[in-house]
């Protein structure tokens, strides 16, 4: 593999993984390397990093079948807990929020709502839906990234938690846009469920968000939709 790699540059160092930009067989790519944890027993650490690497790579491959824009996976190195994937030229939605036209902003959130509904309908959760994990390309295409916390689940609770966490992100990071953007997101989410004759399931998921909020007293009643 080394001979096919031209260069690597660290672009992000997270708690679980480091991201490097580089070239692989003349393609611009991201190398996602899961970092060894010194506090874990080495054998257990290797197993955890391997399983999470495989899970994320498989998820990225699978969700393309649902019509989601996600990076293409080129190679998986389980021994190094490494995924080599397509480099997406774009900016984080989080960094664009203050400069976007209202119409573009709402269209982007509608697209994210569509993506998440497709995930949920197929028994999967993203686990970390944030505006930092949504990339907007120069031609206004929306990409969903970072499936590191992805899980296979068909429970109402897990899907509600997925949406609840995104709601909290909007309230805390984009308070001025929260109502309009969350509404656009949820309306498209509901539309996808309706088109799949799953309105009752969608209703249960959305109602359970309020249960989660009440359980943890996350936000005041006056702020709930």
What are the catalytic residues?
128
Confidence of residue 225 (pLDDT cuts 50, 70, 90): very low
**Domain 2-86: which topology?**
Phosphorylase Kinase; domain 1 (3.30.200)
- The number of C-alpha atoms within 13 Å of 220 and in the hemisphere containing its C-beta is 2
Domains 2-86 and 91-223 share a fold: no
Main-chain dihedrals φ then ψ at residue 9, nearest 5 degrees: -135, 125
Report how far residue 224's alpha carbon sits from residue 217's, in angstroms, rounded to the nearest whole number: 11
Percentage of the residues of the chain whose pLDDT score is greater than 70: 92
Q: What is the token pair recorded at 90?
A: 């774009």
Tokens 């001979």 belong to residue: 3
Q: In this predicted model, what pLDDT tens digit does every residue of 87-143 receive, in sequence order? A: 999 999 999 999 999 999 999 999 999 999 999 999 999 999 999 999 999 999 999
Confidence of residue 221 (pLDDT cuts 50, 70, 90): very low
pLDDT for 5 equals 66
Architecture in CATH of 91-223: Orthogonal Bundle (1.10)
- Greater model confidence, 158 or 1: 158
pTM: 0.90
Confidence of residue 16 (pLDDT cuts 50, 70, 90): confident
pLDDT of 163 above 90 = yes
Q: What is the mean pLDDT of the segment spanning 174-199?
A: 96
Low-confidence winner among 10-19, 148-157, 176-185, 205-214 (lowest mean pLDDT): 10-19
pLDDT of 84 above 80 = yes
Report how far residue 46's alpha carbon sits from residue 61's, in angstroms, rounded to the nearest whole number: 23
Low-confidence winner among 10-24, 46-60, 112-126, 174-188 (lowest mean pLDDT): 10-24
End-to-end CA distance of the chain: 51
- The CA dihedral of 13, 67, 158, 57, to the nearest 10 degrees, is -40
pLDDT for 80 equals 94
Q: What is the mean pLDDT of the segment spanning 191-201?
A: 96
User: Domain residues of the chain, as ranges?
Assistant: 2-86, 91-223
Order of strands, sheet of 142-144, starting from the edge strand that comes earlier in the sequence: 91-92, 134-136, 142-144
Mean pLDDT of the chain: 92
């Amino acid at each position: 593999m080394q001979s096919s790699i031209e260069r690597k540059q660290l672009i992000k160092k997270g708690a679980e993984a480091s991201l490097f930009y580089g070239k692989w067989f003349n393609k611009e790519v991201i190398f996602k390397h899961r970092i060894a944890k010194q506090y874990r027993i080495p054998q257990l650490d290797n197993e955890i990093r391997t399983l999470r690497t495989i899970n994320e790579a498989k998820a990225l491959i699978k969700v393309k079948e649902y019509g989601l824009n996600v990076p293409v996976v080129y190679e998986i190195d389980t021994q190094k807990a490494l995924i080599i994937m397509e480099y997406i030229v774009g900016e984080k939605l989080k960094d664009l929020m203050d400069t976007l036209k209202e119409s573009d902003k709402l269209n982007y959130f509608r697209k994210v709502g569509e993506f998440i509904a497709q995930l949920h309908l197929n028994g999967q959760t993203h686990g970390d839906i944030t505006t930092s994990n949504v990339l907007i390309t120069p031609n206004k295409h929306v990409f969903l990234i970072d499936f590191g916390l992805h899980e296979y689940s068909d429970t109402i609770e897990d899907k509600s938690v997925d949406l609840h966490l995104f709601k909290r992100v909007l309230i805390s990071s984009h308070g001025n846009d929260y109502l309009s953007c969350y509404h656009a997101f949820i309306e498209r989410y509901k539309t996808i469920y309706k088109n799949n004759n799953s309105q009752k399931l969608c209703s249960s998921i959305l109602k359970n968000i309020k249960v989660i909020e009440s359980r943890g007293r996350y936000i005041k009643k006056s702020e709930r939709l």
